[in-house]
Structure 1
Amino acid sequence: MQRSIQAGIAARIGKYSDAVEVTDSQGMRTLYVSGTPGLDAQTGHVPEDFAAQADLAWRNLEAILAAADMSVDDIVKLTQTLTRRDDVAAYRDIRERHLGAHRPASMLSFVSGLVWPQMLIELEAVAVR
Structure 2
Amino acid sequence: MAERRKFSRVVYRTPATLQQKDRSWEPKLLDLSLKGALLTTPAGWGETGKADDYVLSFCLNESDITLDMELKLIQENDECLHFEIVHIDIDSASHLKRLVELNVGNDDLLHRELAQLTDLKDTV
TM-score when normalising by structure 1: 0.28
Larger relative contact order (C-alpha < 8 A, sep ≥ 6)? 1
More helix by share: 1
More strand by share: 2
